[in-house]
Structure 1
Amino acid sequence: MTPTRRSALAAGAAGLLAAPAIASAQTPLRWRMVTSWPKALPGPSFSAQRIADRIRVLSGGRIEVQVFAAGEVVPAFAVHEAVGNRTVELGHTASFFAIGREPALAFFTTVPFGLTPPEHNAWVLKGGGQALWDAASERFGVKPLLGGNTGVSMGGWFRREIQSAEDVKGLTIRMVGLGAELFQRLGATAIAVPPGDIYPALERGAVDGAEFTAPGSDIQLGLWRVAPFYYAPGFNKPNGSSELVINKALWEGLPADLKAVVEAASEAEQAVALAEIEILNMEALTTLVGSHGVKLRGFPAALVQQARRQAADLQRDLGTRSPMAGRVAESYTAFQARIAPWTRVSTHAALGAREV
């Protein structure tokens, strides 16, 4: 072997050995994630932090994400705008907070009397929902992904008992998304209050009732102290999808492996979040009823029936509010009709049998 050939091979070997060291020494991408949640709120706040941690680990430290609670960088309801204009790189929120910008976005959090968490995940991940979500979000400069789930919600906390459909009329209720519109059709006034401000709104009487999610998250907000009547079912919010949003230009510029890292972090959180919230809800409900004197109630049957009729009209109306809303409503409604027979003979039947 000639000296020149030996030198070339040595240089090549040195390069191969040095490559991992060079890759690991690269300056990591440092992203900020703003959220719509109070700090350390069980449920969505936990999901945001886990996604950030998972991105760091799965990327081998190539991406580091710092998480901020609502109000630390931007207000709770300004997450989409902050991500879209590149004030920050990431956001963790709920898509129905942005329905004033695009009505179609309501479908990607929840619809009254709509898809349950497993059904919703099936629609988004395998039923065409993700492509529609991307299209609905594109003009706002964000790429959306599932960001966890708080499960089936409760119907809300009320300062006084609801004994008939008439008792809802005239109430002021903290509620967002399509659930808010539904209760307005039932005669209430619905107002959007950031999660961290729900307790003081109830305490000072600015609202007569409030819905957030379910016991595991609600207990942290202390709502039981000022509104002791806790109602089910959460027909207004049968699913609780959180949303992870990434600045679209940033997303498009990422290499394929880092896109896969973010997607994997998102998809993994669906299973973890739903498992965790079941445990949190189970424990919190026991504490609320057993230790805090919460009065667990069911909405009157007449109110639920009236709400179901109004919800069907609301969903049809929503589909007329924008071309995108029409496309999403058609897909969502068709998927629910297709999956309902299976849910009825599987989950619904099994639960009914278990209770006999």
Structure 2
Amino acid sequence: MRLRLVPENTSWDFFNHARLWLGISALLVIVSMGSFATLGLNFGIDFRGGTTIRTESTQAVDIGSYRGALDGLGLGDVSIVKVNDPTFRADQHVAMIRIQAQDGQESVSGDVIESARTALAQVASGIKFVSVESVGPKVSGELITTAATAVALAIAAVLFYIWLRFEWQFAMGAVAALVHDVLLTIGVFAAVQIKFDLAIIAALLTIVGYSLNDTVVVFDRVRENLIKYKSKDLKEVLNLSINETLSRTFMTSATTLLALIALFVLGGDVIRGFVFAMIWGVVVGTYSSIFVASSILLRLGVKRDWSKPVDTTGNQFGDVDA
């Protein structure tokens, strides 16, 4: 017996409450923008600026001990990552420590670095600071601009691609779904104040790709059914197409979520923000592909001029639907 997340043949009406779904989405987008405007994002070191310290010790790196030693210094956002490299000696243990820039300073001062060295020496005797590199606020500001540009260009590329592959109505529906997903993800990060860094930008771009994939699958079936059922109402065609792809959509989302939830629980603090963004993105991406993109397409309509006779001259397969 095969596992099915949805019945084999469904005939659910996804547009019976289309205005309600669009209203809920619009409300969530407004709340997300309000959260961003009032609370702002909890930017990580990538966007705030700070100092990266590469440490080396003969003792194994214990991230918990390192973090405990630095917590008492009141340094704010501190990221600690163990570095593994097959070329390292057996007694060579390396870690990367990133400390956010302190208020009113271009980078972490020498006194703070010395305090960090003293604190870490208590949990890892003989620890060395092999290199110390700083990122100032100007560079961080450029990273914010570059990240925003990357997301905007990705959405613009999607608009152009869908426009060429389908029609402009399909493109508007797909882009509306993508903007919806990105804004809701930014909004939830502003609301819960999870650290927002370059890894989250990577997650946003991944969410754009995932949501687009779901939307294109539905739209591809819509286009096929528009040709197959020339006399059916657009609403009926959309419902039929979504029902036909529903099993695939839910199975893909469920298996993706299983892997992401395992990473969220077992992956540790380093990737937790990225994984949280991906989990949220898969959920809202699946929702928007069904309720937002298709509802926008229904509102805009699709040109369906079937009144012209099909020219079958010189083609024995001319009367066969593509």
| TM norm structure 1 | 0.20
Q: Quick check: which has more Rg, 1 or 2?
A: 2
| TM norm structure 2 | 0.22
Q: Which of the two has greater helix per residue?
A: 2
